[in-house]
């Protein structure tokens, strides 16, 4: 049984935003955005002057009051699942536009190529990152009709095990300067073109083979079109990265350079009490080193769904999805998948929210050189998250799930995970963050391995000046595999400096 679910919760502890509070106390992000979209659609029908603006709502650190700002994206929450495995602390500045996609209603469930198995349910991290980026609207450069926001960052990271090895660990120090740009062009009152781009360079003191340019996950080109009751989004999400922190099966290497690109279209149809969506994406995953060329693949991904507004604070619906994945070389198996499931999102109060999705998925693997037989894998996928603000000083989020993903050494990895993030506001202008994580993984098809990975972290962040923000974070990982040579421990200390022009 190989389940499928949300791979990674949003790093809520590092998220913040400035906007105006929801005028509807107690409503969650999804419901408020849906009501706003409906009003704007109706305004268009009657020729109102403000018909082109839609309020976008974005996710704050767990338990914070809902804030919104002026933007032109649709509501979140239709398909409550996510996409990327990339380490957010590496691309701190670009994570403000992480996978920079359309909202979950617009793109429904588009995906990145590396996670082709989750592709039909992917995109939540990308969706909510774009909302955050566009909601803040702190543009600092104006070029005719184009508004720009520029941001620079420097990440310094020290680790005692740069290659995730069981023995002969090598310590290293790396530096990653990065420049991030968000550009928005309102082509017409209703149509908007946006570009999010994060570009940087990684320099290692010892492991110099990992030096090089990178394009941060979250870089994206997106065009939104509004036609009567329809919202159409065209998008192209791309990245060039080497980070492998998100894959617990990886051992023995410190990075894997690869290009990922997802291009597609999503359509949302507003039927008053119901929203209907459909989408298509084509994703590619291309390692640049010949040694890993057998992992190159492309995926055609299809999805459709509907969401019903049950009451002002509860949204529920159904989703169906499918896809075809083809590898360039016959080492891994070409495969097809289909699935169906349901989801619900409910705001119990202004300070607590639950979101869950569950369903059934079936995978069909063709014969390959590494697995010379056809195989069918099916199972239940699950994703659940709970966000709560207990008081003015503490908020937290809990997420857990089951999924199937493509791994570093296998075309099918079962993953069960649990994560907790706590945000402590105990000092003036200083936020403390604590993290705990557990992952169980199992791969049977190519390189049999199963094991556990444990993680813990502690971080502090605060503004240094009006434009400069600094954060210091410590993280610890312990991998316990049934293959002794693939065990490892790692300590990591990260200093981030972000300057907003």
DSSP letters for 481-498: ESSGGG-EEEEEEEEEEE
- Domain assignment present for 1: no
The CA-atom distances, in angstroms, between 500 and each of 142, 151, 190, 468 are 15, 5, 29, 7
- Return the CATH number at 241: 2.40.170
Over range 212-237, report the average pLDDT. 92
Kindly state whether residue 458 falls inside one of the protein's structural domains. yes
* Domain contains 208: yes
pLDDT, average across residues 56-76:
33
Q: What is the mean pLDDT of residues 156-173?
A: 95
> What's the number of domains the chain is made of?
1
> Under a CB-based contact definition with an 8 Å cutoff, are residues 92 and 468 in contact?
no
Contacts of 46 (CB under 8 A, 6+ apart): none
292 vs 274: CA distance, rounded Å: 45
Q: What's the pLDDT at 136? A: 53
Question: Does residue 156 fall inside a structural domain?
Answer: yes
Average the pLDDT over 144-169 and give the result. Answer: 94
In a domain, 256, yes or no: yes
The pTM of the whole model exceeds 0.75: no
Tell me if 279 sits within 8 A of 108, measured CB to CB: yes
Supply the pLDDT for residue 36.
39
Please, what is the average pLDDT of the chain? 77
pLDDT digits (tens, 9 = 90+) for 445-473: 777 889 999 999 999 999 999 999 999 99
Is 451 inside a domain boundary? yes
Q: What is the spatial order of strands in the sheet that 54-57 belongs to?
A: 20-21, 67-71, 54-57
Residue 185 domain flag? yes
Tokens matching residue 383: 């994703």
- Residue 375's pLDDT is what? 85
DSSP state of 63: T
| Rounded Cα gap, residues 18 and 22, in angstroms | 12
- List pLDDT tens digits, range 388-417: 999 999 999 999 999 887 766 777 788 999
State pLDDT tens for residues 301-340: 999 999 998 888 888 999 999 999 999 999 989 999 999 9
Whether 334 contacts 346, CB under 8 Å? no
Task: For residue 56, tell me if it sits in a domain.
Answer: yes
Whether the CB-CB separation of 433 and 462 falls below 8 Å is answered with no
Q: How far apart are the first and last CA of the chain?
A: 50
pLDDT in tens, 98-115: 322 333 333 333 333 333
Give residue 50's domain range. Answer: 12-137+145-163+172-500
Rounded to an integer, what distance in angstroms lies between the CA atom of residue 146 and that of residue 194?
9
Q: What pLDDT was estimated at residue 499?
A: 95
Residues 6 or more apart whose CB falls under 8 angstroms from that of 199 comprise 178, 179, 180, 213, 214, 215, 216
């Amino acid at each position: 049984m190989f389940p499928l679910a949300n791979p990674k919760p949003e790093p809520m502890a590092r998220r913040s935003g400035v906007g105006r509070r929801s005028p509807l106390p107690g409503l969650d992000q999804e419901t408020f955005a849906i009501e706003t979209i409906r009003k704007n659609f109706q305004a268009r029908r009657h020729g109102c002057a403000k018909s082109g603006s839609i309020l976008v709502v974005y996710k704050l650190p767990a338990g914070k009051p809902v804030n919104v700002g002026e933007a032109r994206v649709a509501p979140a929450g239709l398909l409550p699942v996510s996409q990327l495995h990339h380490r957010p602390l590496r691309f701190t500045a670009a994570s403000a536009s992480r996978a920079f996609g359309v909202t979950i209603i617009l793109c429904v469930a588009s995906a990145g190529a590396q996670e082709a198995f989750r592709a039909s349910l992917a995109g939540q991290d990308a969706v909510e990152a774009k909302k955050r980026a566009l909601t803040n609207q702190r543009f600092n450069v104006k070029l005719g009709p184009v508004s720009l926001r520029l941001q620079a960052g420097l990440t310094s990271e020290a680790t005692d095990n740069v290659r995730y090895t069981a023995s002969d660990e090598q310590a290293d120090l790396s530096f990653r300067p990065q420049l991030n740009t968000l550009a928005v062009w309102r082509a017409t009152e209703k149509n908007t073109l946006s570009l999010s781009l994060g570009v940087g360079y990684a320099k290692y003191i010892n492991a110099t083979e990992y030096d090089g340019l990178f394009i941060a996950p979250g870089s994206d080109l997106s065009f939104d079109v509004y036609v009567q009751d329809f919202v159409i989004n065209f998008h192209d999400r791309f990245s060039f990265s080497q980070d492998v922190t998100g894959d617990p099966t990886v051992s023995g290497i410190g990075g894997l350079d690869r290009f990922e690109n997802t291009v597609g279209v999503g359509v949302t149809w507003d039927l008053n009490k119901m929203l209907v969506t459909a989408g298509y994406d084509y994703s590619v995953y291309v390692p640049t080193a010949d040694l890993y060329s057998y992992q190159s693949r492309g995926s055609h991904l299809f999805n459709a769904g509907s969401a019903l507004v049950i009451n002002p604070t509860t949204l529920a619906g159904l989703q169906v999805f499918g896809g075809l994945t083809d590898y360039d070389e016959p080492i891994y198996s070409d495969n097809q998948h289909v699935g169906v499931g349901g989801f619900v999102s409910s705001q119990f109060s202004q300070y607590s929210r639950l979101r869950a999705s569950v369903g059934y998925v079936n995978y069909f693997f063709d014969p390959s050189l590494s697995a010379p037989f056809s195989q069918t894998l099916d199972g239940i996928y699950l994703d659940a998250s709970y966000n709560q603000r207990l008081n003015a000083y503490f908020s937290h989020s809990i997420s857990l799930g089951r999924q199937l993903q493509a791994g570093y050494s296998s075309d099918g990895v079962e993953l069960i995970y649990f994560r907790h993030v706590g945000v402590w506001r105990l000092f003036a202008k200083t936020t403390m963050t604590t993290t705990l994580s557990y992952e169980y993984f199992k791969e049977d098809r190519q390189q049999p391995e199963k094991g556990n990975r444990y993680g813990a972290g502690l971080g502090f962040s605060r503004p240094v000046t009006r434009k400069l923000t600094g954060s210091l974070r410590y993280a610890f990982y312990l991998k316990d595999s049934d293959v002794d040579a693939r065990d490892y421990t790692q300590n990591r200390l990260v200093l981030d400096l972000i300057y907003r022009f």
